[in-house]
Amino acid sequence: MTDATETRTPDSRPTGGLSAQYQPGEVEQRRYEKWVSEGYFTADPKSDKPPFSIVIPPPNVTGSLHVGHALDHTIQDTLARLKRMRGYEVLWLPGMDHAGIATQNVVERQLASQQLSRHDLGREKFVEKVWEWKAQSGGAILGQMRRLGDSVDWTRERFTMDEGLSRAVQTIFKRLYEDGLIYRANRIINWCPRCLTALSDIEVEHTDDEGELVSIRYGDGDHSIVVATTRAETMLGDTAVAVHPDDERYKHMVGTEVKLPLTGRRIPIVADEHVDPSFGTGAVKVTPAHDPNDFEIGQRHNLPSLTIMDERAVVTVPGPFEGLDRYEARPAIVDALREEGRIVAEKRPYLHSVGHCSRCKTTVEPRLSLQWFVNTGPLAKAAGDAVRDGRVTIEPAELAKRYFAWVDNMHDWCISRQLWWGHRIPVWYGPAGEVVCVGPDDEAPTGEGWKQDEDVLDTWFSSALWPFSTMGWPEQTAELEKFYPTSVLVTGYDILFFWVARMMMFGLYAMDGQQPFDVVNLHGMVRDGHGKKMSKSFGNVVDPLDWIERYGADATRFTLARGANPGSDVPISEEWCQGSRNFCNKLWNATRFALMNGATVQGPLPEPAELSAIDKWILSRLQHVIGEVDQYFETYEYAKVCDTLYHFAWDDVCDWYVELSKPVLGAAGPEADRSRRVLGHVLDQLLRLLHPVIPFVTEELWIALTGGETVMRASWPVADPALVDDAAEEELAALQKVVTEVRRFRSDQGLKPSQRVSAALTGLGNVGIDTHEPLIRSLARLDPPAADFTATATLAVSGAITVDLDTRGAIDVAAERARLEKDRAAAEKEAAQCRAKLGNESFVSKAPEQVVAKIKDRLATAEADLTRIAAALQALPTS
């Protein structure tokens, strides 16, 4: 009896409910809702299964799924699904980051459209407004994660500003404060005049910008000294000139004073080893309030620090420049110095490194400011030790050098931000100068004159707690006991410093030396098919949601994973995504074919002795593939996993095994039944192997093939050494060699695929494939020799096999010879051009390495074409 849900083809053969073509849109949402409703993603901390846990790098609440997220989430989901099938209790914990600066900017822009500012609302009302925005518009990315197929535990979704995580923030702040690892001080910080807040070092992006280097003479006559600067406006805040103590040119001037132009102030000349005597004039102006190096010089020499600009980078020094923006003040001051004859030299354009706010791209202003800092010294040392002693492994290992370069040279971390959205610093100031740090269970001071610190914490402060705060810390929860330390952190190498190092510092500190994760799996940045960085200005940005809409989530995921080599950038193109869609269609069609031909997963596999060489071969190949995939997963080589499965599925299963099995499957009897069982087994195992990367199509196909509940809960394939058959693999390799050589000849001669040619096959018995002659003839479209057979072309195949073909009447010899000669001329021209370029030493030495490599590849292709064309010409009939 036929199941009511089962469809039938016109010839009434069952297809397991599968439509004629795969339509991702008809499958993905339905399957995802089923997975969630059935609780397949929900982790059980009481389970006796071994734990495997990942915390998702929390996307900004303002964000949407971009191609970097899609790569990162594809890798994490692949690992989560793999581990579930391997019998682990998997927690993949989702959530979002409150993204202090970015979110505040979004809501302030909305207010500005209504001619309002946050100050019009006041702090409390503004924060309420942000929460309203978050409820209505924030978190769109969570729905987009569902489109991609993320198998996260939605019951444990967290937000860095929710009640539990806020408690964790207050707890660790107070502990660090009481341990002397958090302090408040006047220090030089990075200041964004647009966002009006301090930034940490890693929130500043440096680019080489064009500017002007101006040399200015301080003092007069023999007692003058020349300094150079790209920021002439800061001279208003100079409090010294510094020279190296061993610089003979200036030794007589150390301890004296010079007159600072335009101001009338006299400033000292000091000796400091920080100065490089070989750079410029060997003398540097010292502006302690507006340069981090100058600040250190000022501290060593007890120099005053004069702040000359306000928070918007507007000059505040009384006089002709007061009220000018820094960019207005700069040329005005240079003009004034020029009028006084103080300009010694001007160099423009002058390329130099300039810091920019990573969010709004405004040029950052170094500024002396009272801020809160984390003393990172002991924390960073612990973070470095955890990798050095093997508690944490960085994959790929070569990226550990970058990690050590950061943690071994870390500056103290400025954690206060002049914002209203975020975790407010839990410190109160009293009327008599009291300072009280308040924990989550403490009563805040009340009474006249008590006031809480106005600043909020850096967003990365709360994100640094993510691996344990999301599991309920500081409470001792079942989740922490089961799933901490987390198993692996998957993230891009670009936030190794932003996030990974900080989680290491806080995790080790808060969790008594327990690392936050066992493995850090770093992947590269997504680039276009030419290896070029994606940019809106280049017009090469990929929207993964667009690809999901047009090609399906599986095709998008497979494209990303197939380019993901450890630590390397990931090239992708739409053409490759189309190829991935074709791959999904290939699996669909192969499974439909198998179902229509009675493939089954019922009962045990036949004994090897009962199987044909073809069945033995595909089972043997399957065992090798399982082993290779396991090995590549262990080393996080997702591209190799995908490539191995792609070629096994497309080449071995679809192009060879299915074709080789058609004559048997179309018959009746025990041999056909055995092949149907083998075909069912191979597809069952293949769909399981592919499921972690392409979950939707494999779920649909596996259920149709097996009738099971979900492939997600099917066991992961295990290689069976007893099914490895070297003899069968050698036998089929010889068969494939013959068919491939004949097909190549047919293609070179321009024969249509359907056109049959008479041929004599000799030597098949030399390699034990004479019993496969009917198959070879079927696959290569070869007829037995007729009575008038005349060999016009001969192919010599390895293993002393010869194929004589009668191509009379099948080929227009003259036309084919003309075509091949034309192709040979084009290949010779290409080869000559490439050899000329590679023989040019000037070109090879100056051209980028990738350009030279491309020319070498072109030459190799041309030479291969010449060899192929020569063989094709030789094989043409002489008459």
Binding region: 536
CA angle 567, 628, 83 (to 5 degrees): 70
Q: How far apart are CA 365 and CA 372, in angstroms?
A: 18
- The answer to whether residues 516 and 483 touch, using CB atoms and an 8 Å cutoff, is no
Please choose, from the candidates 545, 509, 587, the residue with its C-alpha nearest in 3D space to the C-alpha of residue 177. 509
- Binding site residue list for ATP: 536
Q: How far apart are CA 657 and CA 631, in angstroms?
A: 25
User: Rounded distance, CA 174 to CA 152, Å?
Assistant: 32
Tokens 């070879």 appear where?
776
Amino acid at 719: A
By the 8 A CB rule, do 522 and 399 touch? yes
Q: What is the CA radius of gyration of the chain?
A: 35
Please state, in angstroms and as integers, the Cα–Cα distance from residue 675 to each residue in 432, 563, 688, 744, 752, following that order.
89, 35, 20, 29, 31
Q: CA 684, 687, 693 angle in degrees (round to 5)?
A: 160
Which residues partner with 806 through β-bridges? 758
Query: In Å, how far from its chain's centre is CA 552?
Result: 20
- CA pair distance 269, 286, nearest whole angstrom: 10
The rounded distance, in Å, linking the Cα atoms of 243 and 334 is: 23
Token look-up 């200005």 returns: 537
CB atoms within 10 A of CB 508: 21
Helix, strand, coil % over all residues of the chain, rounded to 5: 45, 20, 35
Distance CA 543, CA 106 (A): 22
Q: Which one, of 121, 119, 116, lies nearest residue 196 by Cα?
A: 119
Ramachandran bin of 277, using left for φ above 0, alpha for ψ from -120 to 50, beta for the remaining angles: alpha
**Exposed, middle or buried: residue 17 (CB in 10 Å: 0-12, 13-18, 19+)?**
middle
Cis peptide upstream of residue 485 (ω within 30 degrees of 0): yes
Structure tokens at 236: 């208003």
Question: In whole angstroms, what is the distance from residue 558 CA to residue 544 CA?
Answer: 12
Q: Choose among 180, 115, 130, 200: nearest CA to 406.
A: 200
Paired tokens of 13: 């053969």
From the list 84, 15, 17, the residue with the least C-alpha distance to 487 is 84
C-alpha pair distances (Å), 319 with each of 217, 316, 324, 580: 21, 9, 11, 67
- Rounded to whole angstroms, how far apart are CA atoms 92 and 153? 6
The torsion angles phi and psi of 354, rounded to 5 degrees, stand at -130, 135
Q: Which residues contact 861 (CB under 8 A, 6 or more apart)?
A: none
Task: Count Cβ neighbours within 10 Å for each residue of 211-245 and write b for 16 or more, e otherwise.
Answer: bbbbbbbbbeeeeebbbbbbbbbbbbbbbbbbbbe
Which token pair is 443? 């009563």
Q: Phi first, then psi: what are they for 217, rounded to 5°?
A: -90, 120
Residue carrying the six token digits 């997702």: 638
User: Do the beta carbons of residue 52 and residue 83 sit within 8 Å?
Assistant: yes
Q: Which helix (H) or strand (E) holds 782?
A: strand 782-783
Q: Please provide the DSSP assignment of 658-686 as one string.
A: IHHHHHHHTS-SHHHHHHHHHHHHHHHHH
> Which of 20, 150, 153 lies closest to 79, judged by CA?
150
